[in-house]
Copies of this chain bind each other. A is one copy, B any other.
Amino acid sequence: MKTGNQYRKSLKQLAPNLYKWGKPIKDVTRHAATRLHVKAIADCYDAGFDPEHAAIFTGESHLTGKRAHRWNTLMRSADDVVANARIKRAQFQRTGACHGATCAGWTALNALWATTWELDQAEGTDYHRRLENYFRYLEENALATAGALTDAKGDRSLGPAAQSEADQYLHIKEVRDDGIVVRGVKAQICGVAAAHEIVCVPGGGLKEGEEAFAVAFAVPRDVAGLTAVETRRPSDTRDEEEGWDAPRAGGVGQAFLLFDDVFVPNERVFIQGQTRYAGVFINHFTALYRAPIGACVAGQGDVMIGAVLALAEAGGLSQKVFQEKLTRMAINNETTFGLGLGAILQGQAHPSGVWIPDPLLAHINKVQVAMLPYETKRLAQEIGGGITETGCFPSWQDLTSPLYGDKLLTALAAVSDGETRARLARLVEWLTVGGGIPGCLNGGGSPDGARLVVRALEPWKKFATNARRIAGLDQN
């Protein structure tokens, strides 16, 4: 296991293949675009040594039986997946941000655990053993992994093999004796800057003829041939400013990954050409990912509740005035949290040893996290007032201007001073229309995709048969 500082040190040793604003990011632990997400992940590492949080931020290794960072272990029981959920919620409560570099990669590896087991059973291959070795490597080195699913996709009405440009989907360009060469673009990958490793997996089901796209593997983040471009977020230039217009506590980052003939040795390849298992993987992944996602969204909402409560209080308003709205916010948060727990409880152990939550309830949760938080955000802005809705508040530079800053701060003071109100208002802005928006709607796949799963899994015919019987038809 690593402390936060050991983790930071290890990141500095990676080669600088990350860019933003067209320029390289030399040190992810210090660059304004990445330091906050690194800080959030460093907090996750430190939490493993903190008695209050160690029980959820660490777990027992399925390989060595030792205590390990939880994101280096297999989730073997409902309790293990609940711990995943708890990390998500705790991480937001602690830092106001998500734990990207210890989230999707971890989940992808767990889903691959079941997928490779099935694949080996059916095909006599040995991907599962490779994955076990890779898991061992991660645990031994206490590494953070980003998970890369989404491809650039190009024309969305066409499949990967039909695109005009092959690079719109990550694919195998060449098969060598000792490994494969891959190229193409993965888009909007969370946590890249704070990860040591990238776990690449298919972003959707595949069919015959799309073998080149059926590929899962892991590479170091700074592998030769990979260029990562950090994306923009709303108000992200504030992270480079002095002052308080952006909170400094936590952050998230997403990147586009350009694979330009990257070599992956066989030992790190986990699916290679078996199109059928792209779908198997996606099923396992989405069940595992979308059950705890409600806890992630609940954590976001917890911060919104806290921020508007603190802001209202700073403005001289009592909690009572807003209690109905606050209660509604809590109902939304706890609904996605509790529904996710239900999905986990309804799950079952896969023969490979990983616990797979109930897919129907997991996808129901995905639909809810794409809707309920919008009401929560609206209520946050309604409680917070106009300055939180559009951020229309003077900048830090103005509030500290020698010419008129004092007058502004005096006028803005209430029960608390002007700075306190400014900081809290900016936090609500950041959470609802700023860089802190964590992406619950489309993150981890679209709600319409989840609705299709609901359609596929709900026993419609059985319900119709029941209804006919209850109506007095079809009973003889």
Interface residue stretch chosen among A262-270, A273-281, A399-407: A399-407
Nearest CB of chain B from residue A199's CB, rounded to whole Å? 19
A10 in contact (CB, < 8 A): no
Chain B residues, CB < 8 A from A370: 378, 382
- Cβ A463 vs Cβ B368 within 8 A: no
Are B464 and A232 in contact (CB-based, < 8 A)? Answer: no
Do B398 and A368 touch across chains, with their CB atoms under 8 A apart? no
Cross-interface CB contact of A344 among B152, B345, B455, cutoff 8 Å? B345
A318 to B157 CA separation, bound complex (whole angstroms): 8
Nearest residue (CB) in B for A424 is B471
Chain B residues contacting A470 (CB-CB under 8 Å) are: 95-96, 247, 249-250, 303, 306-307, 427
Q: Chain A 164-196 against B: per-residue CB contact (8 Å), 1 yes, 0 no?
A: 110110000000000000001101100000000
Q: Write out the residue numbers on chain B whose beta carbons fall within 8 Å of the beta carbon of A393.
A: 188, 231-232
Stretch of A113-121, A216-224, A309-317 on the interface side: A309-317
- B390 close to A463 (CB less than 8 A): no
Contact between A327 and B407, CB atoms less than 8 A apart: no
A394 touching B185, Cβ below 8 Å: no
Q: Are B256 and A394 in contact (CB under 8 A)?
A: yes
Rounded to whole angstroms, the CA-CA distance of A303 and B382 in the bound complex is 23
Chain B residues, Cβ within 8 Å of A447: 382
Known contacts A150-B386, A385-B446: A327-B454 contact under CB 8 Å:
yes
For the complex, what is the distance from the CA of A300 to the CA of B41, rounded to whole Å?
38
CB contact between A442 and one of B385, B407, B443 (< 8 Å): that residue: B385
Q: How far is the CA of A392 from the CA of B254 in the complex (A)?
A: 7
Residues of B within 8 A of A137 (CB): none
Kindly state whether residue A122 has any CB partner on chain B within 8 Å: no
Query: Are A310 and B471 also in contact (CB < 8 A) when A339-B342, A342-B345 are?
Result: yes
CB of A437 within 8 Å of the partner chain: yes
A310 to B20, CA, bound (A): 27
Q: Residues of A within 8 Å of B, CB-based: how many? A: 153
Given A331-B368, A342-B341, A415-B155: A244 in contact with B382 (beta carbons within 8 A): no
The answer to whether the Cβ of A458 comes within 8 Å of any Cβ in the partner chain is: yes
Q: Chain B residues near A424 (CB, 8 Å)?
A: 467-468, 471, 473
CB distance from A87 to the nearest CB of B (A): 16
B residues in contact with A443, CB < 8 Å: 386, 389
In the bound complex, CA of A232 to CA of B430 (Å): 12
Is A360 at the interface (CB under 8 A from chain B)?
yes
- State whether B233 touches A391 (Cβ < 8 A): yes
Chain B residues whose C-beta falls within 8 Å of the C-beta of A415 in the assembled complex: 155
A160 to chain B, nearest CB (A): 12
Q: Is A284 an interface residue (CB 8 A)?
A: no
CB-based contact B390/A21 at 8 Å: no
A262 shortest CB reach to chain B, Å: 13
Q: Counting CB contacts under 8 A, is A338 at the interface? A: yes
For the complex of A and B, the 9 pairs showing the least CB-CB separation, nearest first, are: A306-B467, A306-B463, A338-B342, A341-B342, A155-B316, A386-B442, A22-B397, A185-B411, A152-B411
- Report 18 cross-chain contacts, Cβ distance below 8 Å, ordered by A residue: A22-B395, A152-B411, A165-B410, A184-B411, A229-B408, A231-B395, A305-B463, A306-B460, A307-B471, A310-B468, A319-B460, A327-B458, A330-B364, A335-B364, A341-B341, A342-B342, A390-B437, A427-B470
